[in-house]
Structure 1
Amino acid sequence: MDVEVPSVASEATVFENKPISEFYSEVQAVYLEDTKPWVLGYSGGKDSTATLQVVWTAVSMLPPEKRHKHVFVISSDTYVETPVIVNHIDSNLDAINRAAKEQGLPFSADKVVPKLTDTFWVCLLGKGYPAPTTRFRWCTERMKISPADVFILDRVAESGEVVMVLGARKGESASRDQVLKNREIKGSLLRKHSSLLNAYVYAPIEDFTTNDVWQYILSADSPWGGDNSELVGMYKSAAGGECPLVVDKSTPSCGNSRFGCWVCPVVDKDHSMESMVDNGEDWMEPLLEIQRELASHKDPEIKKKIREIKRRDGRVWRAKSKEDRKRGSRNWSKEEGEYIPGPYKIAYRKDLLQKILIAQKSIRENGPDSKACLIREDELKAIRDIWRTESQEWEDSIPKIYNDIFGDREILWENEDVTSLRMNDGQLLKSICDGHDVPMHLVVKLVSLERNMQGMTKRAGIFNKIDKIFAEDWKEEREIQEILEMEAAEQSEN
């Protein structure tokens, strides 16, 4: 379905009782009352655009000598944003920096991004993390909250305190309204930040309705030269709203938001992306297929086929007891003792990587951006390193998978580490271990540990690490599977 974008307010509007000039005056008063720099969250959607526009206009109306503190505009790029949105945000960030310099205003725009070890594909393909769910949304903390927190804390370190300026609005949800109310500071328009000391929150458009936001955006030109009509068109082409800059765990999930991650598997159907495809963006179909595949992993039968029996620590995990759940165990959704599947199998990760790269090639050939990137070169190299060290991936298959799709001139792959075990080494080691009835992966882990500790002047802790390796569940997968099936049969009989 299309999102209705009204050209005029069709319901009561705050502007009937409080002209926009009063909002500007309020922003100016808050800006002038202290020396705390501002960090404004910009997602490229309607709410953050209206917020930035209000703040920009209000500050620009002040005499130059009163523009005494900086406004840092930050946008979160998780590296799995919809390509169209990435282009929209990038062009606006460039325009913000250019216009601020030309107009002599204290604004600057930056992106915040996750650490390489925390990106979606390094975690999911490299480490085998299962696709996020409502109960295990590992992506939000790593990809959104932490990068924003690092930026904010850097500003706190420089200035002592900082104000987060957000496009939060009342009436979006009862729980969100309660959060806003609980953090109020008596006699101030600022609120306490939920988790960061010396950080405050200011929401200048909190009283705006959705119609107010659109009325304001459509009635005032973008002061940094952005194209608000383009923004309207983007909303009309898809269902859903924007994904706000996430600064804490109380911020609502993006869900099927138009301005969110294209790969988000938390929802069964990405209605936003479906609407875009229905409205002529056929080139996005490969992205939609991958999103649907990841969303299907909630199915218990699919889990059994694509996930390991052991966890990444080498153990078979069981759900915690009721007492443990009360203490915050994230396994609370399962019955006590129930088996919890581990990371994705390496074979499935290879298959999924191939699909992602084929989709990347397709959108480059059929979409608006011939350089569109779904998975970056540094991510591929990080995943390759993890596979080689953690999964004993003898084939070193990532260069081959990539080169089969894009050719061998796209990425310069580093030569294999001469000390790495290769295909022939793996076959020889397997025959020796089988002959002595020793688990091959046990030997590989011990060898890898020795290699990693080699050359270190201090080898403190090596014996504890060896003990941890021996403490893993070293039964063969077939044996563990038989035990689990036997337990399941006994439970069904009881």
Structure 2
Amino acid sequence: MSNDQFLYPSHDDFVQEAIIAGRPLADAVRELQSIYKADNRPWVVGFSGGKDSTVILSLTYYALKMLPPEERHKHVYVVSSDTRVETPVVVDMIRQVLDSVNAQAIQDQLPMTAHSVTPQVGETFWANLLGKGYPAPTKAFRWCTERMKIDPVSEFIKDKVARFGEVVVVLGSRREESSTRAQVITRHKIDGSALGRHTTLHNAYTYMPIELWHADDVWEYLMSAARPWGGSNRVLFELYKDSNAGECPLVIDTNTPSCGNSRFGCWTCTVVTHDKAIEGLVNSGEDWMLPLLQFRNQLHASSLPENKTEFRNYKRRTGKVTFARGAIDDDSNTAAKHVPGPYWMKYRREWLKLLLEIEKGIRETDREIELIGRDELQVIRQQWLKDPNEPDWIDSLPKIYGEVYPEDTVEWIKNDAGAFTEPDAAILNALEAERGVPAVLIMKLIDTELSFSGLSRRKGILDELQKVLEQDWGGLDEAMERRAVPKVTDTYKTAFESLKADIDGLLQ
């Protein structure tokens, strides 16, 4: 007999006796069963690993188990979103739950399977931040949520809608969580039904069995009985204990609040000023996570207004200097506010090396951890080679990886970035020094020419060359001057003509 069985009553005994949120728990289970049996729409149960979603998974599992086998007529999919930068101490716990549910569901003959979904490799946190140079997420620019959480779960749900026509998404959302969440729940509720309409996905409906529960109700349930698939919720309790961190629900739309300080969010989250969740974990004994906290703090510092010009290129990835309407100046005019672009390549290289060093250091403490996937490294390398502002001619990523992991042999994807290599960079840099024209400009002009070579019709090449020339190749001060006195500039057109002979020579 396990320790859990000594500590807890059986799940069945507790359900039959408990009254939660002013309602017999047995009634809530019967409602789940009734809605499950009412139609043939499969269920998708959202599981984030947090307390609310654990209640939903437990109730659903138990309700399904208590049905006669012949009434378990449709499948229940449990879906968990793994952003690949989840708080490390939570990752193993979630995987263990998913594995346990899959194993026990087979033994209990339940039509239930648990699945973990991840963002596409080109849309991960590191592919965007280190690869493309996206700035660390802020409240004003929270680019991570949709790419890393909403899209993978939405694709999973849409796949089930395509197969079955309609689905019911079962969530652990509660009105008490926030006034915004309560308004969203009410707005999408279907009159006379326990279901609501999904905010963005057609033919998907939502069911929130514990929407009226309070936090105390949630903990009473979790700590009063063993999990129906086996094991206890003590690990979950330890993660929440002595923490002011909130819940991080499964994110299915943009109305879901940021996971910010939740211990079930991303360890890289820079939306909040201080990550109290990671700080709490470090203070409670998980001191091996201190380097992660320090790394996260570095990223957050780079997002502060006073640091943006140091860490970020003055141009956007379009090659243009961008301005937005800013504050009112002393003359009561609307002042232009410069919008910086991606992180400079220098910092992306430094952060990648530091991240790999932290990963290696943690692994040397006998912890199995991967802070950045090797498939992500392949994508980041290609993004660096093709970077629109600072192409990585020296192909530095394999070198960085080799410095940290000299014993590893990685089969890097063939360099398909184009015609330019490190020797080419030397030639172009020499031309820049001689003629005063940026080497990247020369490269883009040559690349444009090569893209049209071999074509029977070269219509459009002059337009494409013109687009390259019209990018902001001067410094920020020059761009500010051009904006103050609007004019069509041909700064580099003359230089281009004088370089034509040199360019033709390079193409031969």
Q: The TM-score by the shorter chain falls in which range? A: 0.7 to 0.9
- Mean CA deviation greater in 449-458 or 431-440: 449-458
Residue number in structure 1 paired with 2:119: 114
Tell me which amino acid in the other structure corresponds to 1:469: V
> Does residue 1:181 correspond to 2:186, yes or no?
yes
1:271 to 273, 276, 287: 276
State how far apart, in whole Å, the 1-side matches of 2:121 and 2:213 are.
38
**C-alpha contact 1:161 1:198 (8 A) present in aligned 2:** yes
Q: Deviations over 1:187-210 (max 9, x none)?
A: 100011111111111001112111
Alignment CA distance shift 1:343-1:119 (3 Å) = same
Residue number in structure 2 paired with 1:425: 424
**C-alpha contact 1:170 1:206 (8 A) present in aligned 2:** yes
Percent identity of paired positions between Structure 1 and Structure 2: 45
Residue number in structure 2 paired with 1:230: 235
TM-score in terms of structure 1 length = 0.87
> Does residue 1:387 correspond to 2:405, yes or no?
no
Residue number in structure 1 paired with 2:468: 469
Shift of 1:211: 1.0
Residue number in structure 2 paired with 1:348: 347
Tell me which amino acid in the other structure corresponds to 2:473: W
Let me know the Cα RMSD of the aligned residues: 2.6
**C-alpha contact 1:389 1:448 (8 A) present in aligned 2:** no
> Does residue 1:221 correspond to 2:220, yes or no?
no
- Mean CA deviation greater in 204-213 or 357-366: 357-366
Tell me which amino acid in the other structure corresponds to 2:348: R
State how far apart, in whole Å, the 1-side matches of 2:426 and 2:194 are.
68
Residue number in structure 2 paired with 1:46: 51
**C-alpha contact 1:303 1:341 (8 A) present in aligned 2:** yes
SS in 2 for 1:337: strand
Q: Deviations over 1:418-455 (max 9, x none)?
A: 96422221111121244334332122123334556778
Residue number in structure 1 paired with 2:491: none
Shift of 1:415: 5.4
Tell me which amino acid in the other structure corresponds to 2:55: A
Q: Deviations over 1:447-466 (max 9, x none)?
A: 33455677889988766544
> Does residue 1:305 correspond to 2:304, yes or no?
no
- Mean CA deviation greater in 295-304 or 42-51: 295-304
Shift of 1:16: 6.7
State how far apart, in whole Å, the 1-side matches of 2:96 and 2:355 are.
26
Q: How does 1:64-75 map to 2 (within 5 A)?
A: 64-75=69-80
State how far apart, in whole Å, the 1-side matches of 2:78 and 2:459 are.
45
How many residues are paired up? 461
SS in 2 for 1:219: coil
**C-alpha contact 1:304 1:341 (8 A) present in aligned 2:** yes
Residue number in structure 2 paired with 1:448: 447
SS in 2 for 1:319: strand
2:295 to 281, 290, 299: 290
Shift of 1:388: 0.8
Tell me which amino acid in the other structure corresponds to 2:375: D
**C-alpha contact 1:129 1:343 (8 A) present in aligned 2:** yes
State how far apart, in whole Å, the 2-side matches of 1:388 and 1:137 are.
26
SS in 1 for 2:245: coil
Q: How does 1:60-209 map to 2 (within 5 A)?
A: 60-209=65-214
- Mean CA deviation greater in 443-452 or 232-241: 443-452
Q: How does 1:241-280 map to 2 (within 5 A)?
A: 241-280=246-285
State how far apart, in whole Å, the 1-side matches of 2:321 and 2:231 are.
53
State how far apart, in whole Å, the 1-side matches of 2:148 and 2:408 are.
30
State how far apart, in whole Å, the 1-side matches of 2:30 and 2:470 are.
65
TM-score in terms of structure 2 length = 0.85
SS in 2 for 1:338: strand
Residue number in structure 2 paired with 1:317: 322
**C-alpha contact 1:168 1:203 (8 A) present in aligned 2:** yes
Alignment CA distance shift 1:433-1:199 (3 Å) = same
Structure 1: unaligned runs, 5 residues or longer = 1-6, 8-12, 323-334, 487-494
